Amino acid sequence: MTETTMLECQQLGWSTRGQSILRAVDLRVRQGETLGLIGPNGSGKSTLMRLLAGVLTPSAGAVRLEGRDLASLRRREIAQAMALVEQQAETADRITVRDAVELGRTPWLSALRPWGAEDDAIVRSALEVVEMSGFAERDWLTLSGGERQRVHIARALAQRPRILLLDEPTNHLDIHHQLGILQLVARLLVTTVIALHDLNQAMGCDRLGVLHQGQLVALGTPAEILTPSLLRDVFGVRATFLTDPADGSRIIRFHPLS
Ligand SMILES: Nc1ncnc2c1ncn2[C@@H]1O[C@H](COP(=O)(O)OP(=O)(O)OP(=O)(O)O)[C@@H](O)[C@H]1O
């Protein structure tokens, strides 16, 4: 079976003020997969996500979206294909939760295709999925950090993208909503790239890419990647593996090296 590449980058790099932040990243995201990005603080996960989303312009190499150079595509075309949920996306505007989610429909609207009942239904469904329906009329500024995160995810879902880029989407969320978002991502047929800090949660991804000091140092299945030696070399921790008696799945416990 031939697998379709949704998003790829070749020799991708990004520098700022003469400092190289990301170097020579080669990556292919396959249709339908959930690709997790892991790595220590400052290793370049958010920078890579922003380059893949077209928010940042590469200093070297290129990103291809469904085979086409991202640099040659219009913003609207990119937004119809990809939605990015950033780590600290904020808005200072006084808008309601519903308004914030309705923004997700923007790439699909035009003079010939004005707002309609279908858009209302998509927004309603996105709010339901993140359990925020009861907050629709609330002022965005009054939301807690976790509630804002869920609204951002609803906005991205309302965009109906083919590729979802999620930068630490479980940040700020209580455990119920962390599991809810991860289950949702696993259920979605949409191709997903997700940056995660919790390595036990990362184990649920189809493949993992490991960033270390601005380079992609490993790529493979969670079982291939999450080995004691990689966890020692990249994260500086000693790992032991346990088995969950409930379902036989592996759990990692972490300890200081010394
Ligand atoms: N605009 C910028 N100017 C200067 N340095 C930057 C800029 N953006 C990112 N960096 C630096 O690039 C490195 C990678 O940052 P990035 O946010 O991509 O890391 P990350 O892996 O997402 O980290 P974290 O896990 O802490 O969120 C960091 O050292 C950061 O300080």
ipTM (interface predicted TM):
0.97
Q: What is the mean pLDDT of the chain?
A: 94
Total count of domains within the chain: 2
Q: How confident is the model over 55-83, as pLDDT tens digits? A: 999 999 999 999 999 999 999 999 999 99
Average confidence (pLDDT) over 34-47:
97
Using pLDDT thresholds of 50, 70 and 90, give the confidence band for residue 1.
low
CA distance 183 to 129: 11
Average confidence (pLDDT) over 13-32:
97
Q: Is the confidence at residue 245, as pLDDT, over 90?
A: yes
Q: Which residues contact 91 (CB under 8 A, 6 or more apart)?
A: 100, 140
Q: What CATH number should be reported for the domain holding residue 32?
A: 3.40.50.300
Tell me the residue range of the domain where 256 lies.
227-258
Residue 44 CB less than 6 A away from ligand 1: yes
CB 73 within 8 A of CB 146: no
Average confidence (pLDDT) over 116-128:
97
Residues 135 and 28 in one domain: yes
Residue 36 CB less than 6 A away from ligand 1: no
The token pair at 164 is: 């979802």
Average confidence (pLDDT) over 159-182:
92
CA distance 9 to 167: 18
Residues 38 and 132 in one domain: yes
Q: How confident is the model over 177-210, as pLDDT tens digits? A: 899 888 888 888 899 999 999 999 999 999 999 9
Average confidence (pLDDT) over 3-29:
96
CA distance 129 to 83: 16
185 C-alpha to center of ligand 1: Å? 25
What's the pLDDT score for residue 126?
A: 96
What's the pLDDT score for residue 233?
A: 97
Residues 161 and 238 in one domain: no
Q: Which residues contact 45 (CB under 8 A, 6 or more apart)?
A: 37, 38, 39, 167, 195, 211
Residues 10 and 52 in one domain: yes
Query: Scanning the structure block, which residue is given the tokens 């119920």?
Result: 176
pTM equals 0.94
Q: Which one is predicted more confidently, 163 or 182?
A: 163
42 C-alpha to center of ligand 1: Å? 5
Distance between first and last Cα of the chain: 47
What's the pLDDT score for residue 234?
A: 98
139 C-alpha to center of ligand 1: Å? 31
207, β-bridge pairs: 35
CA distance 98 to 89: 17
Name the residue of 46, 49, 196 to mutate for ligand 1: max ligand atoms within 8 A of Cβ.
46
Residues 68 and 178 in one domain: yes
CA distances from 110 to 1, 82, 106, 188 (A): 38, 18, 8, 27
Helix, strand or coil for residue 20? strand
Residues 238 and 185 in one domain: no
Residues 141 and 183 in one domain: yes
What's the pLDDT score for residue 89?
A: 64
Residues 208 and 247 in one domain: no
7, β-bridge pairs: 29, 65
Alpha helices in the chain (DSSP H): 45-53, 75-81, 97-102, 117-129, 145-158, 175-187, 199-202, 222-225, 228-235
What's the pLDDT score for residue 223?
A: 94
CB 173 within 8 A of CB 150: yes
Query: Which one-letter amino acid corresponds to residue 130?
Result: V
